């Protein structure tokens, strides 16, 4: 079962400015085959998103420009409770050569919280027949190490956390 609350605050695009903020508080659980209630893998308990942007019109007062030019700056931040994981049985993993989980404690541990901040800058050219846009989007601009999962490393005999992608620039046309 899943239940929770969500709050949203939004300003629609007006005079080149917009924003949206959401806060979700939730619980996500299931009952396993033995009748034991457990967390689901996605029971991080909360997610907060904030995004916004501003468009700056260029050459507005120039009647010779039939095309509309604009620079846009956008940003998005996400903070979320970490996903749930099952503990790893080190002894069983070492003897089998692959990660073995403690199934009777499924999803009882939680990875660290997720944080990501993206920034985007774009140049837009609108004409009568088409629109062009050039942009650079820097995802995870703080290079925060967000955990993706955990596994047993046979070579070191230790549990290792695998992180998601770090800072990632995306150039677009």
Q: Residue 93: which H helix or E strand, with range?
A: helix 90-96
| Cα–Cα distance, 33 to 47 (Å, whole number) | 29
pLDDT band with cut points at 50, 70 and 90 for residue 128: confident
Q: What is the pLDDT of residue 161?
A: 94
| Cα–Cα distance, 26 to 91 (Å, whole number) | 35
| Cα–Cα distance, 25 to 80 (Å, whole number) | 10
Q: What is the pLDDT of residue 63?
A: 62
- pLDDT for 56-94, tens place per residue? 998 777 666 667 899 999 999 999 999 999 999 999 999
pLDDT band with cut points at 50, 70 and 90 for residue 129: confident
The pLDDT of 122-144, averaged and rounded, is 94
pTM, two decimal places: 0.85
The pLDDT of 27-50, averaged and rounded, is 95
| Cα–Cα distance, 52 to 82 (Å, whole number) | 24
SS3 35: coil
The backbone region for 28, taken as left when phi is positive above 0, alpha when psi lies in -120 to 50, beta otherwise, is beta
């Amino acid at each position: 079962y899943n239940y929770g609350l969500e709050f949203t605050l939004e300003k629609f695009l007006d005079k080149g400015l917009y924003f949206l903020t959401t806060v979700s508080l939730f619980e996500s659980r299931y009952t396993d085959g033995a009748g034991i209630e457990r967390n689901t893998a996605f029971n991080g308990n909360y997610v907060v998103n904030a995004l916004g942007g501003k468009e700056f019109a260029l050459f507005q007062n120039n009647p010779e420009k039939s095309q509309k030019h604009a620079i846009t700056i956008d940003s998005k931040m996400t903070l979320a409770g970490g996903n749930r994981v099952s503990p790893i049985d080190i002894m069983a993993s070492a003897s089998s050569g692959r990660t073995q989980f403690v199934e009777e404690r499924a999803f009882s541990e939680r990875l660290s919280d997720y944080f990501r901040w993206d920034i985007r800058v774009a140049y837009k050219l609108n004409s009568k027949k088409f629109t062009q846009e050039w942009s650079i989007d820097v995802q995870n601009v703080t290079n925060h190490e967000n955990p993706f999962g955990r596994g047993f490393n046979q070579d070191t005999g230790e549990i290792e956390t695998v992180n998601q992608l770090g800072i990632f620039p995306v150039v677009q046309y």
